[in-house]
Amino acid sequence: MKKEIKHIGVMGAGLVGALLSIYLRKRGYKVSLYEKRDDMRKSSSDSGRSINLALSKRGIKALEDIGVIEEVKKIMLPMEGRMMHSKDGELTFQPYGKEGQFINSVSRGNLNKILLEKAEASGVEIKFEHTCKSVDLEGTSVTFKTPETEKTMQFDLLFGSDGAYSQMRQAMLKTDRFNYEQYYIPHGYKELSIPPTEDGDFAIAPNALHIWPRGQYMLIALPNLDKSFTCTLFFPFEGQPSFESLQTPQQVLQFFKNTFPDSLPHLKNIQDEYFQNPTSSLVTVKCEPWVKNNCVLIGDAAHAIVPFYGQGMNAGFEDCYELNLLLDKHSDDWENTLAEYQEVRKKDGDAIADLALHNFVEMRDLVADDKFLVQKKIEAKLHEKFPDKWIPLYSMVTFSDLRYSEAFEIGKKQQVIMDEVMQKPDILENWENIDLEKIVDKL
Amino acid sequence: MKKEIKHIGVMGAGLVGALLSIYLRKRGYKVSLYEKRDDMRKSSSDSGRSINLALSKRGIKALEDIGVIEEVKKIMLPMEGRMMHSKDGELTFQPYGKEGQFINSVSRGNLNKILLEKAEASGVEIKFEHTCKSVDLEGTSVTFKTPETEKTMQFDLLFGSDGAYSQMRQAMLKTDRFNYEQYYIPHGYKELSIPPTEDGDFAIAPNALHIWPRGQYMLIALPNLDKSFTCTLFFPFEGQPSFESLQTPQQVLQFFKNTFPDSLPHLKNIQDEYFQNPTSSLVTVKCEPWVKNNCVLIGDAAHAIVPFYGQGMNAGFEDCYELNLLLDKHSDDWENTLAEYQEVRKKDGDAIADLALHNFVEMRDLVADDKFLVQKKIEAKLHEKFPDKWIPLYSMVTFSDLRYSEAFEIGKKQQVIMDEVMQKPDILENWENIDLEKIVDKL
């Protein structure tokens, strides 16, 4: 590790790269941020309709920290719980937390623009249309291809915030003793949309994350600022039914009519969208080490996860927040900082990866199960009565900044206890009368 | 999948690639075998001293099948059991199986030469000094660099038998939905040697695999035809003690003197060898699918494993054997053959990978434990009395051709039963009097 760090390169000006650059610039480093795409602030793509993400406690904490939360609040749409749509159109609402607790639908594009503005205003040098051709882990340098030329840039320290298919990680993968795992679930996803009504209003309730849970698959919808919803169909690639099995517009329409009947009147462009929009895969990546010489992985590049806990962005933002705290703690001694960063965040990255995989089962299947919903109600009552002793797993992950790895461990203990509670034969009828203190004492 | 297969390319003329080529040629295909190194049959390297491997049932079965076993028998050195060396030089011998059962030390180089001879005699086209630059999984073609030129070769079907760092697998890794895991254990290995005595004899007993088990690490030795032994030190990369911590010839000598004292008089060149020979890492690779279009992974390329069960080569040979059986079964319909090949062998590859990782703990630690050795003796008696009902795990893996995945499952059940048996407080004294029938009935 080179001791004197003056100039830091950051690869990838997505959400994590932009946030990281701001943090580093604030500490006084010269920061250069590289992005292969063009400047989204100048491009004409309709950002209001782009992918939306769920912003919660950990992400908000970092955005407060760097002083952009007021800007971000303007694009946040609160979602107070899950709205489950049954096959016959019946709605069930399950709050995410206590009253006043909610997660926030934000447009990835809009949030990214706010962070780029802030980065530029802070003095970060941003270079667009710089495609990484290769990373030299020994020399801490990157060769970029630009529309005009090809050039190699050298840094004192280099961060790879270049996402799930990180080029820096690819370079690390070729080095000896790099542990690596990429796992694709058997499901893909496809985006569809619910436009605003003719009156210009939300077509379905805006203050919720909508789920059509159907066992092996599901449809979800998150609200957008323009009163549309972005829907995502999470669906097996192969089998019956699957993306492979739905081949014609008639088959798609029939499938939605049978399976998600109350969504169909709102999905105005489903036939076009289903066949025009791509079917994308869902990957989990775990790797180690995150630090090789003076090159460091962060965000999705270090720990890509599936989207089912709404924590991908939040985890990446927390990486930056924690890294900044560690730099405080170690007075900008990078060797000690990065050693502890990897030690701490690797465990948490693994934990949220596993939690996210498990939450897919919860979202697509369990939330349609009466017993599961009763369990959630019991846990909510436990939390109400013993707010510091029993915090439901979802709340620990979403509304607290307890380490993911600790939340995971506590959650496992809670589940063992709740499995026992839910075995009582009359639990569905008498759950409101059970002895909460006896339960909490088992923890 | 292209239906008509005439010309098959095989990447990598190591043990598995050579064997596979012979099988395919025997079935009447035109087979071209490519190897990046030069022809080992013509090169001057001293093959008698090269790496030795443990050949057992599964490997032998394939060598019999293609008609080279008589040639191979000339280079096989039987090892009937483990010879454990304690710190004070005490020897304990543990037979691998029943009387007459043994594994065989063979030189990788010599075995490879026999297979290359057979391949060439069978009409396989072998091209040396062909380094793979890239694999086109869609076009079933490979671009090779040779000393003279660069050329692209196209095939109807292409096998990647190109080892643990397979180029074909690298190409697959870049495709969507390719599940992949590479895991390095924290230990590396270094080869040392025990030359023959001045009288030209083996310096230690030749009919055994020697182990100096020391808990977190170990030294082992396998006999060679020239009456030398190849020793391998499996040792942590970092920590105390480790490859990192032994820096000077004095430190190495002192460490061996304290830790493996009875080996030291035989390790005539330890000081040179320790510092001249490389320290290599040990990787486990799991991936899926093994088949993409008309490209197929086989052997280490599909399932690299650590060497602690002596099954790497045997597993690769069994891949070829089973593939050939499936071609018989499906009358050379490659689509059905490859679908079943992957379905069957992937499970077995995963199983032997996990078994091999676990056997490291057994070899370096458990074999020095009295209780463990008593358990092995009880299991040997069980096997003697109920030869078809209780086959110890090691025997299922090494002396049978039961599927690895089934052996693994049965082994787990046996372990649960034996854990219970070994809990009896007087088991070490009275193990010869226990009721074997009661144990076997639990299975």
ipTM, 2 dp? 0.91
**Dihedral, A148, A154, A159, A161 alpha carbons, nearest 10:** 10
Please state the rounded mean pLDDT for residues A280-295: 98
Q: For testing the chain A interface, which of B167, B169, B173, B180 should be mutated: the one with the most A CBs within 10 Å?
A: B180
pLDDT-above-90 percentage for chain B: 95
A287 contacts in chain B (CB < 8 Å): none
> What residue of B is the nearest CA neighbor of A179?
B183
Q: Is-contact A54 A79, C-beta < 8 A?
A: yes
Measured in angstroms, the CA of B283 and the nearest CA of chain A are apart by 8
Would the CB atoms of B176 and A281 count as touching at under 8 Å? yes
CA distance B316 to B63: 12
Rounded to the nearest angstrom, the minimum Cα separation between A420 and chain B is: 26
> Which structure tokens are listed for A113?
């623009």
- Which positions in chain B have a beta carbon within 8 angstroms of at least one beta carbon in chain A? 176-184, 237, 281
Give the residue from B165, B184, B288, B306 with the most A CB atoms within 10 Å of its CB, the best one to mutate: B184
Question: Is the pLDDT confidence value at B50 over 60?
Answer: no
Q: Which residue of A lies nearest to B170 if distances are taken between CA atoms?
A: A174
Out of A180, A183, A281, closest to residue B182 by CB? A180
Closest alpha carbon to B203 in B333, B93, B83, B334: B83
The residue of chain B nearest to residue A279, with distances taken between CA atoms, is: B176
Among chain A residues, the shortest Cα distance to B173 is held by A182
Contact (CB<8Å) A182/B177: no
Nearest C-alpha of chain B: how many angstroms from A340? 18
Residue-wise pLDDT for A194-230, tens only, equals: 999 999 999 999 999 999 999 999 999 999 999 999 9
What span, in angstroms and rounded, lies between the C-alpha atoms of A27 and A8?
11
Q: What is the mean pLDDT of residues A19-25?
A: 98
Tell me whether residues B180 and A180 touch, CB distance under 8 A: yes
CA A113: distance to chain centroid? 18
Mean pLDDT estimate for chain A: 95
**Across all residues in chain B, what is the average pLDDT?**
95
| Residue B270 neighbours by CB distance under 10 Å | 21
Q: Residue B48: is its pLDDT beyond 50? A: no
At the topology level, CATH places domain A7-80+105-181+283-360 in FAD/NAD(P)-binding domain (3.50.50)
Calculate how close chain A gets to B270, using CA atoms only, in Å.
25
Query: Are B281 and A178 a contacting pair at CB < 8 A?
Result: no
Q: Model confidence at A49, in pLDDT bands (50, 70, 90)?
A: very low
Q: How is domain B7-76+107-182+283-360 classified at the CATH fold level? A: FAD/NAD(P)-binding domain (3.50.50)
Nearest CB to B179; choose among A177, A179, A182: A182
Q: Please state which of the ranges A46-55, A247-256, B205-214 shows the lowest mean pLDDT.
A: A46-55
Question: What's the half-sphere exposure (Cβ side, CA atoms, 13 Å) at A97?
Answer: 19
Residue of A nearest to B282 (CA): A177
CB contact under 8 A, B177 and A184: yes
* B13 min Cα distance to partner chain A (Å): 23
What is the predicted pLDDT for the residue at B133?
97
pLDDT band at A51 (very low <50, low <70, confident <90, very high): confident
Contacts of A282 in chain B (CB under 8 A): none
pLDDT band at B2 (very low <50, low <70, confident <90, very high): low
| pLDDT tens digit sequence for B366-394 | 888 889 999 999 999 999 999 999 999 99
Residue B412 has pLDDT above 80, yes or no: yes
- Residue-level pLDDT at A2: 63
pLDDT at B130 over 70: yes
| pLDDT score recorded for residue A378 | 96
Q: Which pLDDT belongs to residue A275?
A: 96
Question: What pLDDT does residue B87 have?
Answer: 94
Taking any CB pair shorter than 8 Å as contact, residues of chain A touching chain B are 176-184, 237, 281
Q: How confident is the model at residue A48 (pLDDT cuts 50, 70, 90)?
A: very low
Per-residue pLDDT at A45 exceeds 60: no
Inform me whether the pLDDT recorded for A347 exceeds 70: yes
> pLDDT at residue A292 above 80?
yes
pLDDT at residue number B366: 87
> The tokens 């530029």 sit on which residue?
A120
pLDDT (0 to 100) of residue A47: 42
Question: What's the pLDDT band for B47 if we cut at 50, 70, 90?
Answer: very low
Summarised one tens digit per residue, pLDDT across range A125-156 is: 999 999 999 999 999 999 999 999 999 999 99
Non-local (6+) Cβ contacts of A335 within 8 A are A1, A3
Which chain A residue has its CA at the smallest distance from B281's CA? A177
Assess whether pLDDT exceeds 70 at residue A253. yes
* Helix (H) and strand (E) counts in chain A: 15, 19
